[in-house]
Amino acid sequence: MLPLVESFYSFQGEGRFVGTPSIFVRLGGCNLGCVGFGVTIDGHVGCDSLKAVNQEHFGHTWDKVNDLIPIINEYLQDLDFCPDIVFTGGEPLLHYQNPILLSALSHFHKHRITFETNATIEIDFEKYPVYKDITFAMSVKLENSGELKSKRIQYEAIRAIIVNTQYSFFKFVLSKNDIDTKEIEEITKPFNDTKIYCMPMGSTAKKLAQNDKAVANFCIKKGYNYVDRMHIRLWDNEEGR
């Protein structure tokens, strides 16, 4: 079985393929809590995907599925083009060896597939070569996440992704209070050819507006790519968007 929090069809609001029509598959479970992001749902604190992270309190709402293919095909049946497919979470790579997930990846190999990951789980690319054709949006967590550095930065996991894939990239979340951080340089220095995207922290358009200009100026200064969070600008943190 595979824990499915939700699936929906929208567009990619972040990162390298921003604006691209995409089918999202959100899997349950995460190995980080990220309480530093300060999003509160039903009295519980974490990131803006808290319902996919906190299994203890929200796991009862997850579906247990034994096949992703018909779920994704439902979105494709009315489309005459090939949208991206995005696996997100939580942390979807907790399930990277799951046969149900592997079957879906093989079935939809003609689509551009992205995994949104915190890049702490080392993939065995030789045993599971299907992942070599996937793009990984590596949202490595910074100090502002509230997680221990030893837990949130795993260089071997990052290196495995970069060595074995072609278009994977870094994606960092920053507030106006984080723009003096040296951590991005520290994390990315061993991987000079990998693109770096930074985006403002915030689970609503109002909160994004408190951070966006500072983050944009930080990117201009450092030579990083600024990217907004378009889905939040349009719909705040509405589910299914």
- Give the residues across from 39 on adjacent strands: 46
Alpha-helix residue ranges (DSSP H) falling in the chain: 50-53, 55-58, 69-76, 99-107, 149-152, 155-164, 183-188, 205-222, 230-235
pLDDT, one tens digit per residue, over 115-132 is 999 999 999 999 999 999
Residue 41 has pLDDT above 90, yes or no: no
Which residues in 159-198 are b (16+ Cβ under 10 Å) and which e? ebbbebbeebbbbbbbbeebbebebbeebbeebeeeebbb
- Helix axis angle, 99-107 relative to 69-76, nearest 10°? 30
Q: What is the arithmetic mean of pLDDT over 33-40?
A: 84
Looking at residue 137, the DSSP 8-state letter turns out to be E
pLDDT band at residue 169 using 50, 70 and 90 as cut-offs: very high
* Per-residue model confidence (pLDDT) at position 82: 96
CATH superfamily of 2-235: Aldolase class I (3.20.20.70)
Give the model's confidence band at 42: pLDDT under 50 very low, under 70 low, under 90 confident, else very high: confident
Domain boundaries, the chain: 2-235
